Amino acid sequence: MNRVWALVPLKDFAGAKSRLTAALDADERRALALAMARDVAAALARSRTVARVLMVSDVPALDRLIGVDGVEHFDTRQARGLNEDLADAAGWAGAQGATHVLVAHADLPRLTPRAVDRFVRGAGPAPRVRAAACKEGRGTNLLLAPVPLPLPLVFGRDSLARFCLAAATAGVAIDVVRDAALAADIDEPGDLAALFTACARGEPAGRATAGLLRALMPPTGGRPPRKNAETGAAAIA
């Protein structure tokens, strides 16, 4: 596969990971979102199949905030929405010489360069679309597509089924990949607890995320802090 450009959408950190409110306070959620985004960007930048990495966001000076060599910022300025912003970035990448785009969400702290390369190379030379399912099998954590895009972007609730329908409607072949290395997104407190447990066991995670989890992890390890419903103070689950 020739020139694959990775697109990593990232929204404002102010409301980052709101579904983790029961486990982390606002500053911790912001720090987690930034750490995971750094790890995703680093995995993509170190892969052998990705030529360039663009953070797609209206967060000012995001490339400096991410701090990963070779990672650039596609500034969406007045953001129109996830799918519209990604379509704009894909169109720009195509105009600059990209043959494919790889959309990778920023909450995949266990993503590795090897997993990225396995996913991209598995598509083969045909101009097909490839989607990596989330752990529940309903969402789409990664999407590889030629540019110009052969089908509309439909990220959001139950996106995997909608991508498959859009591909069928457009007459485009689509491969659905179920790979544990690509499926471990962090959305709910249970996802975070599983990540804490995995890190306590010494299982690999991205450097930035692992460092943050070590700082947040109780001395006994294994479970994340949880807000006390009455006092708002951190407690151990």
pLDDT digits (tens, 9 = 90+) for 22-53: 889 999 999 999 999 999 999 999 999 999 99
Q: Which two tokens stand for residue 231?
A: 């006092």
pLDDT digits (tens, 9 = 90+) for 190-217: 999 888 888 878 777 899 998 998 888 7
Q: 139 with 208, same domain?
A: no
% of the chain at pLDDT higher than 70: 89
Q: 118 with 197, same domain?
A: no
Alpha carbons 107 and 116: distance in angstroms, whole number: 14
Let me know the angle formed at the C-alpha of 99 by 94 and 102, rounded to the nearest 5 degrees.
Answer: 90
Cβ proximity of 119 and 48 under 8 Å = no
Predicted pLDDT at 235? 26
Q: 101 with 173, same domain?
A: yes
Predicted pLDDT at 237? 23
CATH number at residue 30: 3.90.550.10
Domain limits at 153?
4-183
This prediction has a pTM of 0.89
Q: 172 with 194, same domain?
A: no
Q: 118 with 137, same domain?
A: yes
Alpha carbons 108 and 133: distance in angstroms, whole number: 12
Q: Average pLDDT of 82-109?
A: 96
Q: Looking at the 3D structure of the chain, how many domains does it have?
A: 2
Instruction: Give the other-Cβ count within 10 Å of 148's Cβ.
Output: 10
Q: 85 with 193, same domain?
A: no
